[in-house]
Structure 1
Amino acid sequence: MNKHLYLLLTFLSVSAFAQTKSTLITPYERSQGRQTATYTEIIRYYQQLDRQFKQAKLIEIGKTDVGKPLHLFLLAADQVFTSRPDRVTLLINNGIHPGEPEGIDACMMLARDLLLANKLPKNVLLAIVPVFNVGGSLNRGVSRANQNGPETYGFRGNARNLNLNRDFIKADAENTRSFQAMFQSLKPQVFVDNHTSNGADYQHVVTYFATQKDKLHPAVSGYMTQTFQPNLDKALTEKGFPPAPYVNNFKDTPESGLLGYNDSPRYTTGYAAMFNCFGFTLETHMWKDYPARVKGSYAFDEAVLRLCERDARTILANKQRADAAVSQQTRFAINYKLDRSQTDSILFLGYEAAHKPSEVSGLKRLYYDRTKPFTKRIPYQNTFVPDAELVKPEAYVIPQGWREVIVLLKRNGVRMQPLNGDTLLTVTAYYLDDYQTSQRPYEGHYLHSAVRVRPAVQRIQFYKGDYVIQTNQPTNRYLIETLEPQAADSFFAWNFFDSVLDQKEYFSDYIFEDTAADLLRKDPALRQQLADRRAADKAFADNARAQLEFIYRKTTYFEKTFNRYPVYRLEGR
């Protein structure tokens, strides 16, 4: 090609690129980094990208609590906007807390730049949730006193004042239900949730935590910790954003050491991990200026995308191996605890902390001295070990009356088989012998914890339409962590089965007195049990009602369903 013609075509191409980009300036860029896009501006912008580029598609994936739809923006080099077994699906979520909006603005620019430069990877489907908490995004103001910009932004709570990053088991919000259906349709291998930090001051713009490594299948965990994360950290450092783990301090300040984060299934990354999808919660530092935080978010999301492109075959193979293994796995951890005997160290860029008199109270107050930066290694504890384990049953049986739970199971990809007729089955039932309940509501629920169960083998009548759930499927982790009541984020913990905790029938003392006396005359063993209890417990011995209750609970009158957990285990033969 003639040199002059080549230069002319290059000039025209660059000019056309610049002209096209000028028509796609984001509200953030237009404000010179002072503002984040409004909900209307976000959707309008993605609609424009959809119209202009065949490799882009904006779709509505469901409802939200505020009445507006939840959107998903898809980018595919081959214009095929569905997950395929030969390419990685990377899902990026924005605006779960709309007061932390960096990811919203960063992803708008990243999507545009990938399309304009024609740099979409052929082996990755990029799926972006433009803004998840739509109601919170519409509730615009200044609600984060510890944050340095933008000028206005959305609110943490959604239209029902729910923190959506605590909703991924109970799914109270329409937003979360829509997200779960989308997640199960896409089946992503890698997930990013964009946030802004709270807490200590330090030099890092970018901090993040990965899906808790000790909960993942080794095929996924080993690759994530030994390959993906080191390369991600290297790429971020080269871009000018040396990262640190999410700053979760031992004590008052980061130099005391950092603790790993136990992202249980109520959180986005904990939810994703139950399906062998590894993820990252990005936390840009609240007190850095807003443009720096947006640039850090852009760098993080782009680096994750490029690693997905580079290692697509490995990521796909690891996920497939993990899914197959979990289908056959027999023993599962249902709760985890930090192993404080295992301590590593990380390089941390901080500021010296000190105390001085408060101008408000006159008492000591903490402050960070930005004139005294430091770089040093600090302790890091990020090893979690099982706190409770169990062997899975061959199957679970759940009566059809528990519709809310059945809907959740189906939405999350669990295969279920209804009984074809009324059937008498021998099952292991749990009796809920003890549990603690929170004194204050948390995200609309009074959570149960410290659950102790007593198993009992029983013959129970089930009916046509009740469900049998085999535990030979890739959703086993989700099944066990939601259906076993001892698990920290089980459906029982979130109050889905509270009606079984309510006794329905009682006795009248003056009538049951004669029945109880007759029972004691006929049953010497029961009479001895009562005597032993009296001898061991003076308060019991002085309480006539308690003694009648003791006898009543040992009769056929006492309801077998009281405190009986209504999900049953079919044990292997």
Structure 2
Amino acid sequence: MLKTLLLASLLFTGAPDKTDLKTPYEKGNGNQTATYEEAINWYKSFDKAYDEVKMVPYGYTDSGRLLHLVIVSTDKDFDPASIKTKNKRVLLIQNGIHPGEPEGIDATMMLARDYLQDKNKRKQLDNVVLAIIPVYNIGGALNRNSHTRTNQNGPETYGFRGNARNLDLNRDYIKTDSRNAKLFHLIFRDWDPDVFMDNHTSNGADYQHVMTLIATQHNKLNPTLAKYLTGKMVPTLYKGMQQAKFPMVPYMNTIAETPDKGIEGFMESPRYATGYTALYNTIGFVPETHMLKPFDQRVQATYKLMENMIETVHRDADEIGRLRAQAKKETLQQQDFHLNWKLDTTKVDKIPFLGYAAKYKTSEVSGTERLYYDRKAPYSKNINYYNSFNPTTTVQKPVAYIIPYAWHEVIDRLKTNKVEMQQLIRDTTVTVDTYYITDYKTSPRAYEGHYIHSDIKVEKRSMARQFLKGDYVVYLNQEANRFLVETLEPQAIDSYFAWNFFDSILMQKEYFSSYVFEDLAADILKQNPELREQLEARKKAEPEFAKNGRAQLDFVYRNSPHYEPTHNMYPVGRLMQNVKLPL
């Protein structure tokens, strides 16, 4: 597919003057951002001007417009497999996932051009290839306005957070409801980036910093990569931004109303961009510029952070490559996987913070007390930073998952992620661990098109089950191991069960009429004295149950062969022994 797309990109012909590549932002007044059409047209010109640039259309998004990937490769090699053999690092930069936060769109155009035009910068691309998604949420970018980012200082017009289906694409990486996310998975699995950046603008408190940063949460990143990330890469970025006069601070995920009370790390689950990329041992970052700073400052800060990122990846290219290879090997061998996490409030760091005094006054709207930040009262002090999380759910990976053919929505998503799968060539019975869903909570209101489940409880049973010809067998000896565990273990926060893809198992399909079942239930109890003892014990322990004849019939029914065994049975089997299967 990629070769076909590369050939299609050759249709761009001509060679404009390389000096005539001013971006729409540069031609404006410092408070304007490129539209989707302007950005794509600029990159087409960039592609024409430089043989080191290739613009690849990956496919159509929910908006009906093409999603493009722009590759900057100084040796003119645009084949990801070939690039990997040359021990080059791939930096994937994504812009416009929230098109109302557009500074990355403008900064990246200038950055890519400058790195080809400046000899000193260009040298840093000797071992780094840039892969750029110019505008990810095209539908949102086309929906331009000047009001929906209520708290934001510019630009004059911008796009909308929701895509063409009103989905927040930064909640769609695992559930993959959008065509955008499917295309991202193709890009991501084609290019296997070493480092990923997803440019954003923040909401929340007021403070002096222009740039804040979310780095992949270190506790859930592979330990080999986490040590490098926290010990070397992040400190380098902070030092570089300090020298660029954009002192940086972690994303202001406050534990109270104001940041001076302290902040906590952002535990990005796989529904988010960097939560998803971490599943494949890619180091991820979400830059968040401050919404109240002028747009030109936000563009400059984003540019400087990306510049520092390229310098860092160039400097540490060999180390990053070696550590990622080690992390991938460790993931293949890993037996226990942590699924859910809880903040450890006993571990705290002190970080420097440049804030404004939080004060209160009477609201002119409600007459009640309201918060405001006094910019005439800036301060500099250390604040608490809680950035350690402990696992709350851990599972042992199976040898393989067996997924019945019927669950095509799940199978399709695994295929999109290039998961290696085989199919049974005949019906077979095999002993597997099977989960029964014993309890869960469901959101009372729709969340991104789903009524998502949480706090999921399971009971595990080992049983012989029949699987049919065509059912899928997915062995956990592949690069997608962690992705598979976090999507197919129902307890995980962003599992496919949590996202409602298995909801039909939760509804009982058969039942009984009381007047008919009365005589049958009596016979069942006569033939099963132990069940009679359990019934009588429960009646003694629960007075309300003792008064409820229907509830007692239900108790007998659920403990009889008449109760359907598939009710609440999670259909994905966990093969725990490496037995030979007909594949």
Considering the TM-score relative to the shorter chain, is it more than 0.5? yes
**Counterpart in the other structure of 1:562:** 567
2:327 corresponds to which residue? 322
CA distance in 2, matches of 1:495, 1:63: 26
- How far has the Cα of 1:522 moved from its partner? 2.2
Instruction: Check the 8 A contact 2:18/2:49 in 1, yes or no.
Output: no
**Aligned counterpart for 1:27 among listed residues 24, 48, 53:** 24
**Amino acid in structure 2 at the alignment position of 1:72:** L
1:10 alignment counterpart: none
Instruction: Structure 2 unaligned segments of length 5 or more: list them.
Output: 1-15, 579-583
Q: Which runs of 4+ in 1 moved over 6 A?
A: none
2:313 corresponding residue in structure 1:
308
Q: Secondary structure at the residue paired with 2:572?
A: strand
Amino acid at match of 2:514: D
* Corresponding residue of 1:115: 116
Name the CA distance, whole Å, in 1 between partners of 2:326 and 2:416: 23
1:521 Cα shift?
2.1
SS at match of 2:56: strand
- Alignment match of 2:453 (pick from 435, 448, 452): 448
SS in 2 for 1:61: strand
**Does residue 202 of the first structure (1) align with residue 207 of the second (2)?**
yes
Is 1:479–2:484 an aligned residue pair?
yes
SS in 2 for 1:72: strand
Task: Give, as a single letter, the amino acid of the residue that structure 2 aligns with 1:134.
Answer: I
* Residue of structure 2 equivalent to 1:12: none
Aligned to 2:128: 124
Deviation at 1:410, TM superposition (A): 2.1
2:186 maps to what in 1?
181
Establish whether residue 548 from structure 1 lines up as the match of residue 553 from structure 2.
yes
Cα deviation, 1:141-191, whole Å, max 9, x if unaligned, reads 021110000000000000111100000110000000100111011000100
Give 1:512's aligned residue: 517
Q: Does 1:408 align with 2:448?
A: no
Q: 1:69 aligns with which of 66, 71, 85?
A: 66
In the other structure, the counterpart of 2:441 is: 436
Helix, strand or coil at the partner of 2:482 = helix
- Cα distance in 1 for partners of 2:31, 2:292 equals 14
Q: Decide which of 538, 560, 577 is 1:533's aligned counterpart.
A: 538
Change (3 A) 1:201 1:209: same
Q: Distance in 1 between matches of 2:154 and 2:19?
A: 25
Q: 2:249 aligns with which of 235, 244, 250?
A: 244
C-alpha displacement at 1:352, in angstroms? 1.0
Q: State the match for 1:56 in structure 2.
A: 53
CA contact (8 A) 1:81 1:125 kept: no
- Partner deviation per Cα, 1:457-514 (whole Å, 9 max, x = no partner): 1111111221111112222111111110001110000001001111111111111111
Whether contact under 8 Å (1:190, 1:278) holds in the other structure is yes
What is the CA–CA distance in structure 2 between the aligned matches of 1:254 and 1:132, rounded to whole Å? 31
Give structure 1 stretches of 5+ with no counterpart: 1-18
In structure 2, C-alpha distance between the alignment counterparts of 1:523 and 1:497, rounded to whole Å:
34
The residue identity in structure 1 corresponding to 2:132 is I
Paired residue for 1:423, among 428, 439, 445? Answer: 428
Whether 2:142 is the aligned partner of 1:141: answer no
Count of residues in Structure 1 that have an aligned counterpart in Structure 2: 555
Secondary structure of 1:353's match? strand
Give me the TM-score of the superposition, normalised by structure 1.
0.95
Distance of 1:341 and 1:268 partners within structure 2: 28
> How far apart are the structure 2 equivalents of 1:146 and 1:403?
42
The one-letter code of the counterpart of 1:412 is: N
* Structure-2 residue corresponding to 1:387: 392
Superposed, 1:78-117 pairs within 5 Å as 78-83=75-80, 84-85=83-84, 86-117=87-118
- Tell me the equivalent position of 1:163: 168
In the TM superposition, residue 22 of structure 1 has moved relative to its aligned partner by 5.4
Opposite residue 400 of structure 1, the aligned amino acid is Y
| Mapped partners of 2:198, 2:205: distance in 1 | 21
The reply on whether 1:234 has 2:239 as its aligned counterpart is yes
Deviation of 1:21 (Å) = 6.2
Q: 1:399–1:566: 8 Å Cα contact kept in structure 2?
A: yes
**CA distance in 2: counterparts of 1:144 and 1:427, whole angstroms:** 51
Partner of 1:3: none
Q: Could you tell me how far apart the structure 1 residues matched to 2:19 and 2:460 are?
A: 67
SS across alignment from 1:265: coil
Measured after TM superposition, the shift of residue 523 of structure 1 is: 1.9
Counterpart of 2:382 in structure 1 is: 377
Q: 1:177-215 CA distances to partner (integer Å, 9 max, x unpaired)?
A: 100111011000100000000011111001011000011
Tell me, in whole angstroms, the C-alpha distance in 2 between the residues paired with 1:487 and 1:395: 17
Q: Counterpart of 2:570 in 1: which secondary structure?
A: strand
Indicate conservation of the 8 Å contact 2:17/2:49, yes or no. Answer: no
How far 1:20 sits from its partner (Å)? 4.7
Q: Corresponding residue for 2:499?
A: 494
The farther-off stretch of 286-295 and 83-92 is 83-92
- Kindly provide the amino acid, as one letter, of the partner of residue 125 in structure 1: V
How far apart, CA to CA, are the structure 2 residues paired with 1:478 and 1:141?
37
- Alignment partner of 1:565: what SS? coil
Letter in 2 for 1:372: A
Secondary structure of the structure 2 residue equivalent to 1:376: strand
Give the TM-score taking structure 2 as reference length.
0.94
Cα gap change, 1:123 to 1:22, in 2 (>3 Å): closer
Could you tell me how far apart the structure 2 residues matched to 1:491 and 1:72 are?
28
Q: Partners in 2 of 1:408 and 1:168 — Cα distance? A: 10
Moved more, 131-140 or 387-396: 387-396
Match for residue 354 of structure 1 among 356, 359, 373 = 359
* CA distance in 2 between partners of 1:260 and 1:179 (Å): 26
Secondary structure of the 2:377 match is strand
